[in-house]
Amino acid sequence: MKTFRQIFREAENKIPGIAAAPGIVIAKTYLFTKEAIEISEGEIFEVEVAKANLDEALRKSKKELNKVLNIAREKMSGTRAAIFEAQMMILDDPVLISAIKKRIEKERKLPEFIVNDEISKYQQLMILSHEPYMKERAHDIEDIKNRIIRNLQKKRWQSKIPNDAIVVSDSLTPADTILLSRCNVKGFVTDHGGVTSHAAIISRSLNIPAVVGTHNGSKLIKDGETIIIDGFHGYVFTTPAEDQIKFYTLKQEKLIELQKGLEELKDLPAKTKDGKEIHLKANVDVTGEIDIVVTSGAKGIGLYRTEQILEELGEFPNEDEQTTIYTRLASRIYPEHITIRAFDIGGDKFKFLDYTEPNPFLGLRGIRILLENITLFKTQIRAVLRASQNKNIQFMLPMITTLKEIKHAKEIIEECKKELKKEKIVFDSRMKIGIMIEVPSAAVLAKEFAQEIDFISIGTNDLIQFLMAVDRGNDLVAELYQEFNPAVIRTIAHIVREAKKAHREVSICGEMAADTLAMPLLVGLGLDSLSMSPATLPYAKRIIRSMSYHKAKEMADECIELGSEKEISDRIEKFFKEHSIIRTRQII
């Protein structure tokens, strides 16, 4: 059987788009076309009748929207359903309605003309905005405008279609997406729209795979033909070949298997019994892993190891290529956030230097290499900034050892921002900058470092290695690699305390965060965010949901005083027994 790459490269029946909602579907299509709205400027003779028609159209629109709102509330979270409440507010806006009525009286033109003209003014302002989010909101307003006009023209809108189809359309409004979903829609494909479009957000909420932005997809796809939607990568395959169907069927089966364990916990918050919420985020190493992240219920990506791109490609991608990679990831996880870590090269990772260092772990690696290769560093920073338009990216510096490194890196970031501004490239000017604490000097100086940055992520993999002076990959000294060594626990406690004093977000993204035994201790130490491999996430969630933060804190306070690794791990085991918490063994 061909690999995905072969199918992807060779396929002539592939229509590329934007991966808007994850999942794979193989089903028949339904081409959803909407009658174009024609607006007449016609003169009116009876102003009162025209105004009454307007009132009636507003009343009817409100009734329809209420129906949509009810379905939305039933199927989605409150925040997502709020877009329809926002549309409802437009219908109730006294300033807008009175402006329309005044113009009807004065200009004596058909209400549909004035409604179109008035609401379009708002839209224009939004379309001119540099913010992609505002541009998308302009489309939402289009929906309410057309709804009023259609009701003024007394036309009906199609909302019933055959069951179990993939809906293919030029564009879809949020209301279309909601109403059509009642016909057990299997997927959505639209020519227009981005990942922040509400149709995309709603598809994600409803768990319906979607590919948007296919440009002319609706012209290429025939009504009733079988297609494949790959909502993970943003592809549509028309009339798929046998091996494509086989490949995707297999992928579907794997996905179902994976989701079985995750499903029941996916939408539940990782909250302790006494109400403390822990943000469980995902670590992403390989780009393909994002597929699972999105279905795992992770609250964003806490660590994206960009050096893995180099492992995959075998070379440094240029600025545009990197921008594409980061944009795609940030879009896939939107509206959650992604923490992109600068290339952590050297050490035992991607080899950058021509010669072999005597002590690679203690050599030129991470931020040290980046600060010596400014062009390389700037290429990455510019790409990350360019991908930050939707404001859901934060940038993290690896292997920080001194304050000078942080200051230098920040200066370079500022320089990149200035360049982009000059080039009139839009980016998130307030993108958060954080550091990894994985070197003992950084741990000791957590207080001073915290003043310089927005967030801290503790890299326990390296931190334990350096605290214990033990090569993390060397079997001979594996016994000494101790997560629960008092030195490690007290160091973590110190970092958390200092970060909190400075009001900085602090998390752990090393593998210790994925160790289910460590979970109550880390929560008790005050960490409010943990980032781990997505497969571990539901297990972590289950533990957090079955324990009390206060009890965990009492236990952590005791552990800080204990003098040996054994005493600490025994104390945590006792905690699990005392509170009858089921612990699945570490599964990474």
Rg (Cα) of the chain, in Å, rounded? Answer: 27
Q: Which of residues 459-518 bind Mg ion (CB under 5 A)?
A: 459, 462
The site string for ligand PEP over 356-395 (x = CB under 6 A, - otherwise) reads ----------------------------------------
Selected range binding ligand PEP among 2-10, 404-412, 458-466, 575-583, rule: CB under 6 A:
458-466
# residues contacting Mg ion (CB under 5 A): 3
222-250 per-residue burial string, b: 16 or more CB within 10 A, e: under 16: eeeeebbbbbbbbbbbbebbeebeebbee
Residue 234 C-beta: closest distance to ligand PEP, Å: 28
Give CA–CA dist 35/16, Å, rounded: 26
For 356, phi then psi, to 5°, come to -90, 125
291, 344, 498, 515: residue in contact with ligand PEP (rule CB under 6 A) = 344
Residue 463 C-beta: closest distance to Mg ion, Å: 8
Q: What single string gives the DSSP state of each residue in 451-482?
A: HH-SEEEE-HHHHHHHHTT--TT-GGGGGG--
Selected range binding ligand PEP among 294-302, 328-336, 460-468, 475-483, rule: CB under 6 A:
460-468
Identify whether 559 is a catalytic site residue.
no
For 435, phi then psi, to 5°, come to -130, 155
Closest CA to 566 of 503, 482, 498, 455: 482
The site string for Mg ion over 379-418 (x = CB under 5 A, - otherwise) reads ----------------------------------------
When asked if residue 491 is in the footprint of ligand PEP (CB under 6 A), the reply is no
When asked if residue 460 is in the footprint of ligand PEP (CB under 6 A), the reply is yes
Q: Is the peptide bond before 335 cis (omega within 30 degrees of 0)?
A: yes
174, 213, 300, 459: residue in contact with ligand PEP (rule CB under 6 A) = 459
Give CA–CA dist 5/432, Å, rounded: 35
The separation between the first and the last C-alpha atoms of the chain, rounded to the nearest angstrom, is 29
When asked if residue 538 is in the footprint of ligand PEP (CB under 6 A), the reply is no
Which residue has the closest beta carbon to Mg ion? 462
Give CA–CA dist 469/461, Å, rounded: 12
136, 291, 438, 515: residue in contact with Mg ion (rule CB under 5 A) = 438
Dihedral angle computed from the Cα positions of residues 347, 285, 514 and 281, in that order, rounded to the nearest 10 degrees: 130
> Among 139, 279, 416, 509, which one carries the catalytic annotation?
509
Selected range binding Mg ion among 52-60, 203-211, 288-296, 431-439, rule: CB under 5 A:
431-439
Q: What single string gives the DSSP state of each residue in 283-339?
A: EE-SGGGHHHHHHHT-SSEEEEETHHHHHHHSS---HHHHHHHHHHHHHHHTTS-EE
Identify whether 183 is a catalytic site residue.
no
Among Mg ion, ligand PEP, none, the one that 526 touches (CB under a kind-dependent 5 to 8 A) is none
Among ligand PEP, Mg ion, none, the one that 185 touches (CB under a kind-dependent 5 to 8 A) is none
Selected range binding Mg ion among 112-120, 151-159, 280-288, 458-466, rule: CB under 5 A:
458-466
What amino acid positions are annotated as catalytic residues? Answer: 198, 509
| Residues making contact with Mg ion (CB under 5 A) | 438, 459, 462
